[in-house]
């Protein structure tokens, strides 16, 4: 019986029953057939050599697409499992999916894999690839499958968990076989192992079965696979590029900050240059907050246990807090417990509560650069990105419910404006809605979520709804940015809170002279100043925009006799608020220039005899590999001042 195949361009072709994706690809063109790894048949993915029995819309999946690489990587995972089972006969294998840029497979083995084991595994994989074994698809009844995988507990657990809807047909699962190796798998796979051309086994690490800390820890081996050697190489280069931007490395190279081990993990000290960077970011933040209706407040670092009981932190978050300091304990006195703050909210709430509030005062926006301390688990620490001590640019806004919509809208505009000022222009947002156990009036949740959504829409911000992902006390918006190399970072959060106004019994007097409960908005824009600077460092690879650069200008005297003039140049620039250094080192001009460039200073001014004589400078601008000679000092100062001016 012939079947009609509709291609993506809408054209139709007739084939005999049992035609395969490979046949169709070959029919379209030999190059397509060569690049094909699988085929989509209506909504399903088929192996290239699986017969198509019915009329269908078909498209060929080639190896140089994300979908194609996904298949390649998944097949690579199978080959990895096959290799591990061959080399470590008792190994139990769990799951092995494709992930972004690669794949992994989880194993239970007696001893964790050593780096040498990984080398052997990769070598074994190459043998299997060289043998070019065909992947054969098969279907088994659940009972048969359990038999086949009788000595593989993880596979059995998966099979036993298969719902009738999930497998193939009602009580069937699909398996793939190549050579003697068989794995439970939905497929599809590349036609044969020889198609895996460019791959590498990269590392191993522990991982919990089903991602659950309480379940056994397995050994996960990661790998990467690409459609060609060239694509693999490009990936490795990309990794190197990312490593070069690592803020921990640049932080040391540019002398911004360090993490002295004497302090304890996750606690940074900021060096003078990092201090300038921070101060510049913080000054900008204070300035813009003041200009947009925020009141700047300051609160202490510690508070008594009672405050944290009211806020709920001690109940829900105690493990994340530095432990109590017990003060004034005596023979007959229990003493008082103090905790270092992991958050600023309760303090701002106390400011709100310090006297009775009128609706006329709302929205009330309190802003603080508040240092907080959280006892993060040691394994999650990551430079400035995840530290134990950090500074939140923290705001708490108290509004009436009627004001909520307008407030969220202007708040979102404010957030985006600030992020744009720092050079980010690609944003995505998540809107997290009411979870099962969300507290408070469900109607309020609905209205609040609508306000959040319409704020996102009016800001023209693309967003995804994360149903049920909100905190128990309110829905929220998270804003992500993309950095210069396409990585996504979560920065700002706007979090509604229906809980704390209750806990702390917040009120305001309405125009009708009734007592009402305000809505509270938590809002961090950078998240943490430290983390934000970490992200800026990686985004700009250390070459900060001129207004943020710790040193904006280096003046290089050609010879000792020009130092005096160089100093006077620095003085002129410095008097205009430009951050300038004179490099008086006994070195060649070339060396001093190189130093300034390596340190990513935006401007280098070289001064020699002719400049002393005519009051000029030679100027070199970062990123432009040319120098301009004989610019009048005033002119140079004017140009530099213009470029280093903060955005607002």
Partner RNA sequence: GCUGGCGUAGCUCAGUUGGCCAGAGCAGCCGCCUUGUAAGCGGCAGGUCAUGGGUUCGAGUCCCAUCGCCAGCUCCA
251 is a site residue for RNA (CB under 7 A): no
Sheet holding 172-178, edge to edge: 136-141, 172-178, 181-184
Based on CB atoms, which residue is closest to RNA, 58 or 471? 471
Query: For residues 177 and 200, what is the distance between their CA atoms, to the nearest angstrom?
Result: 22
Residue from 10, 115, 161, 165 that binds RNA (CB under 7 A)? 115
Residue from 162, 252, 324, 350 that binds RNA (CB under 7 A)? 252
Residue from 35, 67, 168, 589 that binds RNA (CB under 7 A)? 589
Q: DSSP state, 115? A: H
What lies within 8 Å, CB to CB, of 407 at 6+ separation is 363, 397, 399, 521
Based on CB atoms, which residue is closest to RNA, 23 or 538? 538
Residue 336's CB is within 10 A of a number of other CB atoms, namely 14
Which of 429, 399, 401, 403 minimizes the C-alpha distance to 415?
429
Residue from 206, 272, 323, 442 that binds RNA (CB under 7 A)? 206
Query: For residues 57 and 11, what is the distance between their CA atoms, to the nearest angstrom?
Result: 10
492 is a site residue for RNA (CB under 7 A): no
Distance of closest approach, residue 245 Cβ to RNA, in angstroms: 12
Distance of closest approach, residue 331 Cβ to RNA, in angstroms: 33
Based on CB atoms, which residue is closest to RNA, 42 or 587? 587
Query: For residues 83 and 122, what is the distance between their CA atoms, to the nearest angstrom?
Result: 8
Distance of closest approach, residue 99 Cβ to RNA, in angstroms: 8
Residue from 4, 54, 64, 114 that binds RNA (CB under 7 A)? 114
Q: What token pair was written down for 194?
A: 């020889």
Q: What token pair was written down for 498?
A: 């229906």
Based on CB atoms, which residue is closest to RNA, 52 or 254? 254
What lies within 8 Å, CB to CB, of 308 at 6+ separation is 314, 321, 339, 346
Distance of closest approach, residue 631 Cβ to RNA, in angstroms: 9
Sign of CA dihedral 494, 499, 504, 505: positive
309 is a site residue for RNA (CB under 7 A): no
112 is a site residue for RNA (CB under 7 A): yes
Query: For residues 491 and 281, what is the distance between their CA atoms, to the nearest angstrom?
Result: 15
625 is a site residue for RNA (CB under 7 A): yes
Query: For residues 532 and 538, what is the distance between their CA atoms, to the nearest angstrom?
Result: 10
634 is a site residue for RNA (CB under 7 A): no
Based on CB atoms, which residue is closest to RNA, 189 or 601? 601
Residue from 70, 516, 620, 636 that binds RNA (CB under 7 A)? 620
Residue 299 phi, psi (nearest 5): -135, 160
Residue 295 near residue 367, CB atoms below 8 Å: yes
Residue 623 φ/ψ region, left for φ over 0, alpha for ψ in the -120 to 50 degree band, beta for the rest: left
Asked whether the bond before 128 is cis by omega within 30 degrees of 0, the reply is no
Q: DSSP state, 351? A: H
Torsion of CA 368, 543, 429, 383, to 10 degrees: -60
What lies within 8 Å, CB to CB, of 448 at 6+ separation is 404, 474, 475, 496, 498, 519
Query: For residues 190 and 46, what is the distance between their CA atoms, to the nearest angstrom?
Result: 10
Binding to RNA, residues 362-421 (CB under 7 A): 372, 374, 376-383, 386
611 is a site residue for RNA (CB under 7 A): yes
Residue 523 near residue 395, CB atoms below 8 Å: yes
117 is a site residue for RNA (CB under 7 A): no
Which of 545, 548, 569 minimizes the C-alpha distance to 558?
569
Residue written as tokens 């693309």? 462
585 is a site residue for RNA (CB under 7 A): yes
List residues with catalytic annotation. Answer: 345, 374, 392, 394, 396, 476, 522
Contact window for RNA (CB under 7 A) among 81-89, 163-171, 451-459, 589-597? 589-597
Contact window for RNA (CB under 7 A) among 20-28, 129-137, 189-197, 200-208? 200-208
Residue 53 near residue 30, CB atoms below 8 Å: no
529 is a site residue for RNA (CB under 7 A): no
Distance of closest approach, residue 243 Cβ to RNA, in angstroms: 9
Query: For residues 378 and 105, what is the distance between their CA atoms, to the nearest angstrom?
Result: 25
Which of 1, 53, 58 minimizes the C-alpha distance to 25?
58
CA dist 7 to 15, 31, 43, 44, 198, Å? 13, 17, 13, 15, 30
Based on CB atoms, which residue is closest to RNA, 413 or 469? 469
Residue from 50, 155, 220, 348 that binds RNA (CB under 7 A)? 220
Distance of closest approach, residue 492 Cβ to RNA, in angstroms: 13
Contact window for RNA (CB under 7 A) among 7-15, 58-66, 259-267, 544-552? 259-267
523 is a site residue for RNA (CB under 7 A): no
618 is a site residue for RNA (CB under 7 A): yes
Q: How many positions of this chain bind RNA (CB under 7 A)?
A: 70
Contact window for RNA (CB under 7 A) among 59-67, 215-223, 281-289, 636-644? 215-223
Which of 619, 539, 553, 546 minimizes the C-alpha distance to 583?
553
Query: For residues 428 and 426, what is the distance between their CA atoms, to the nearest angstrom?
Result: 7
172 is a site residue for RNA (CB under 7 A): no
Contact window for RNA (CB under 7 A) among 43-51, 83-91, 262-270, 479-487? 262-270
Distance of closest approach, residue 370 Cβ to RNA, in angstroms: 11
Residue from 132, 587, 634, 635 that binds RNA (CB under 7 A)? 587
266 is a site residue for RNA (CB under 7 A): yes
Residue from 139, 609, 634, 635 that binds RNA (CB under 7 A)? 609
Contact string 327-366 vs RNA (x = CB under 7 A): ---------------xx-----------------------
Contact window for RNA (CB under 7 A) among 33-41, 72-80, 404-412, 596-604? 596-604
Contact window for RNA (CB under 7 A) among 153-161, 164-172, 273-281, 600-608? 600-608
What lies within 8 Å, CB to CB, of 642 at 6+ separation is none
203 is a site residue for RNA (CB under 7 A): yes
Residue 13 φ/ψ region, left for φ over 0, alpha for ψ in the -120 to 50 degree band, beta for the rest: beta
Binding site for RNA (CB under 7 A): 112, 114-115, 203-208, 211-213, 217, 219-220, 222, 248, 252, 259, 261, 264-266, 313, 316-317, 320, 342-343, 372, 374, 376-383, 386, 471-472, 558-561, 585-591, 593-594, 597-598, 604, 606-611, 617-618, 620, 625, 627, 629
């Amino acid at each position: 019986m012939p079947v009609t195949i509709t291609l993506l361009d809408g054209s139709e072709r007739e084939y005999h029953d049992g035609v395969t994706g490979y046949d169709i690809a070959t029919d379209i063109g030999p190059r397509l057939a060569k690049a094909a790894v699988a085929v989509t048949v209506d909504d399903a993915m088929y192996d290239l050599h699986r017969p198509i029995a019915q009329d269908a819309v078909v498209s060929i999946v080639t190896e140089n697409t994300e979908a194609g690489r996904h298949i390649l990587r998944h097949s690579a995972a199978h080959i990895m499992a096959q290799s591990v089972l061959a080399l470590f006969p008792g190994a139990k294998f769990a799951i092995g999916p494709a992930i972004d840029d690669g794949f992994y497979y989880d194993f239970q083995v007696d001893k964790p894999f050593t780096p040498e084991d990984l080398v052997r595994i990769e070598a074994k994989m190459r043998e299997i690839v060289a043998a070019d074994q065909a992947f054969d698809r098969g279907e088994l009844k659940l009972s048969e499958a359990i038999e086949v995988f009788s000595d593989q507990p993880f596979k059995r657990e998966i099979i036993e968990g298969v719902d009738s809807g999930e497998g193939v047909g009602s009580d069937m699962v699909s398996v793939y076989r190549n050579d003697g190796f068989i794995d439970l798998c939905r497929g599809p796979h590349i036609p044969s192992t020889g198609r895996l051309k460019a791959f590498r086994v990269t590392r191993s690490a522990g991982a919990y079965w089903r991602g659950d800390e309480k379940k056994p820890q397995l050994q996960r081996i990661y790998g990467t696979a690409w459609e060609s050697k060239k694509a693999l190489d490009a990936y490795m280069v990309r990794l190197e590029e990312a490593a070069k931007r690592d803020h921990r490395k640049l932080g040391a190279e540019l002398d911004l900050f360090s993490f002295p081990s004497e302090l304890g993990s996750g606690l940074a000290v900021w060096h003078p240059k990092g201090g300038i960077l921070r101060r510049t970011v913080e000054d900008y933040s204070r300035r813009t907050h003041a200009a947009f209706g925020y009141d700047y407040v300051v609160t202490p670092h510690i508070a008594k246990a009672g405050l944290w009981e009211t806020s709920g932190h001690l109940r829900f978050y105690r493990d994340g807090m530095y432990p109590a300091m017990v003060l004034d304990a005596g023979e007959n006195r229990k003493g008082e417990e103090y905790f270092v703050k992991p958050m600023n909210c309760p303090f701002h709430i106390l400011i709100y509560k310090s006297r009775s509030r009128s609706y006329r005062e709302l929205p009330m926006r309190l802003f603080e650069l508040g240092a907080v301390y959280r006892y993060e688990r040691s394994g999650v620490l990551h430079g400035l990105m995840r530290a134990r001590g950090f500074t939140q640019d923290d705001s708490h806004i108290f509004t009436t419910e009627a004001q909520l919509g307008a407030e969220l809208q202007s708040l979102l505009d404010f957030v985006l404006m600030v992020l744009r000022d720092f050079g980010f222009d690609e944003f995505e947002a998540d809107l997290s809605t009411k979870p099962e156990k969300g507290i408070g009036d469900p109607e309020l949740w609905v209205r609040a979520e609508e306000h959040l959504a319409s704020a996102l829409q009016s800001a023209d911000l693309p967003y995804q709804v994360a149903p049920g992902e909100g905190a128990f006390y309110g829905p929220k918006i998270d804003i992500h940015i993309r950095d210069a190399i396409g990585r996504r970072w979560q920065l700002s959060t706007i979090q509604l809170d229906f809980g704390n106004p209750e806990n702390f019994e917040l009120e305001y007097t309405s125009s009708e002279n009734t007592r009402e409960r305000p809505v509270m908005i938590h809002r961090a824009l950078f998240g943490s100043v430290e983390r934000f600077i970490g992200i800026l460092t990686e985004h700009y690879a250390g070459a900060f925009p001129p207004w943020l650069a710790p040193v904006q200008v280096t003046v290089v005297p050609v010879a000792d006799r020009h130092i005096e003039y160089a100093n006077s140049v620095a003085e002129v620039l410095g008097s205009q608020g430009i951050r300038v250094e004179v490099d008086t080192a006994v070195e060649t001009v070339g060396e001093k220039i190189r130093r300034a460039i390596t340190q990513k200073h935006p401007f280098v001014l070289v001064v020699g005899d002719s400049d002393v004589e005519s009051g000029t400078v030679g100027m070199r601008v970062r990123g432009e590999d040319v120098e301009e000679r004989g610019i009048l000092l005033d002119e140079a100062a004017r140009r530099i001042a213009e470029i280093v001016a903060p955005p607002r």
